[in-house]
Structure 1
Amino acid sequence: MSDGKSIVVTVPPNTKIENAQFYVLEGYFGAAFGSVETKAGEQAELTLNIEQAEYETDQLKSGNEFEKGAIVYFDEEAKVFTVEEEGNRKVGRVSEAKDANGVILFILGPQI
């Protein structure tokens, strides 16, 4: 049994994961603890941080405004955060608006 703050997931073949970037793997959304790159026919295990906490990211969709209080979604195909709901997974709420460096703070929501 774990504390529920992280989960070990399988990285599928032909996938590149970068440390501290956000991903959806096996239905879970979170920040990668570590980097891994799999080739054709390979899989690897990776731990995702799924703790409901405040996170900082610049992994944002270009042209989107991220104002404080806005609902944040994750575009699984582009692997970026967006404020656009259609076809994207709801993942949290902006706690600090996008700054001049293109960075936001957000509160990660539950894994449901």
Structure 2
Amino acid sequence: MIFPSGRLVHVAAGFSVWAIIFALIYGMQGVGCRLDWDKVILFDTLSLQRIQLVAVYVVGLCVLMTIYACLSKHKGGPEQKAPRRFVTAVAVYGALAAFAAASLSFVGVMWLTAC
């Protein structure tokens, strides 16, 4: 079999985590607005809403960077067959692209109004 299932899971890992981060941020934004967490000030001007959204963002970026680092360690050498090296490279660069996409698409939680 050219594409063992483990490698295909690696290819999908980065953007699957991106989708989970998206769902968490979007869901927590809705819950926080409904429960008025944006009005609960914890530190100076930081609301409970902002803190939990930033926490999801930062943890998500850490998970994506960990996925990228783990996949990068397992890059195949010349002893691997070409299809396996290709799928591994797609997985590594896909994880890096997911990190970049999350970094740019969710950075608004840092300053945009939550509700």
Q: TM-score, length-normalised on structure 2?
A: 0.20
Q: Which has the higher helix share?
A: 2
Which has the larger Rg?
2
Q: TM-score, length-normalised on structure 1?
A: 0.20
Q: Which has the higher strand share?
A: 1
